Amino acid sequence: QKEVEQDPGPLSVPEGAIVSLNCTYSNSAFQYFMWYRQYSRKGPELLMYTYSSGNKEDGRFTAQVDKSSKYISLFIRDSQPSDSATYLCAMSEGGSNYKLTFGKGTLLTVNP
Amino acid sequence: KAGVTQTPRYLIKTRGQQVTLSCSPISGHRSVSWYQQTPGQGLQFLFEYFSETQRNKGNFPGRFSGRQFSNSRSEMNVSTLELGDSALYLCASSLKSGNTEAFFGQGTRLTVV
């Protein structure tokens, strides 16, 4: 079983839709959770950074972490064509083992 | 504020050669991590440097090595290149070691032929 599982998609939605992206994980030691957006031929861009369980909102983006279920989500409201990209979840134990473990990414296309 | 800068952006090398990639972190950031991204394996952690010392290492063979200079700039070296080393190599910058909030550069696309 992989440490982090992420549905690769592809996911195609109309402009203005609410998008839900998810990851599950098996390592209960993960405490830091991140979402990155990666456009084609670019490096990953940090979108959301959260510690432990709970919700965090930033503009049209909301990140949710449920440590009891080992499940994290990213919601995108009022999706735009410019949101079309690959979305990667990443996690870390922190402390002395702070390397990031990534999901494989979900390819999202928002159609005008 | 300038972001993470990686050079070169693209490289084509022959099997058996070696290659050196460079990364300049965000100004003030002292930790540099390296990742390999391939379609099959996704993003995988190579190693992390802080204060010119390797602090953490992933599961890659010894052909992959790196170093960090006193100005926090880092280089990654791959010796005896194999076809399977073809990948996007990404550098991530953090304020300090153990800080999981990492910012990535654009990457170096390495093709081994």
Q: Facing residues of B94 across strands?
A: B31
Task: Name the residue in chain A with its Cα closest to that of B90.
Answer: A43
How many Cβ atoms are within 10 Å of A27's Cβ, its own excluded? 13
Task: Name the residue in chain B with its Cα closest to that of A37.
Answer: B104
Distance from CA of A76 to the nearest CA of B (A): 21
Residue A42 and residue B33: Cα distance in Å, rounded? 17
**Contact call for B98 and A98, based on CB within 8 A:** yes
Residue A37 and residue A59: Cα distance in Å, rounded? 15
Task: Name the residue in chain B with its Cα closest to that of A91.
Answer: B100
State percent of chain B over pLDDT 70.
Answer: 97
Distance from CA of B14 to the nearest CA of A (A): 22
CB-based contact, B78 to chain A, within 8 Å: no
Pick out chain A residues at pLDDT < 50.
none
Could you report the per-residue pLDDT of A33-61, keeping only the tens digit for each?
999 999 998 999 999 999 888 899 999 99
pLDDT at B1 over 70: no
pLDDT at B2 over 80: no
Which of chain A's residues have a Cβ under 8 Å away from the Cβ of B45?
99-101
Residue B85 and residue A36: Cα distance in Å, rounded? 24
Q: What is the mean pLDDT of residues B58-76?
A: 96
- Do the beta carbons of residue A48 and residue A35 sit within 8 Å? yes
Could you report the per-residue pLDDT of B69-103, keeping only the tens digit for each?
999 999 999 999 999 999 999 999 988 777 678 89
CB-based contact, B58 to chain A, within 8 Å: yes
Which of chain B's residues have a Cβ under 8 Å away from the Cβ of A92?
100
Q: Is residue A82 helix, strand or coil?
A: helix
Could you report the per-residue pLDDT of B18-29, keeping only the tens digit for each?
999 999 999 999
**For residue A36, what are the contacts with CB-CB under 8 A and spacing of at least 6?**
A44, A45, A46, A47, A87, A88, A89, A90, A102, B104
pLDDT at B52 over 80: yes
Q: pLDDT tier at B56 (50, 70, 90 boundaries)?
A: confident
Which of chain A's residues have a Cβ under 8 Å away from the Cβ of B99?
98
**For residue A91, what are the contacts with CB-CB under 8 A and spacing of at least 6?**
A3, A4, A23, A25, A27, A30, A32, A33, A34, A72, A100, A101
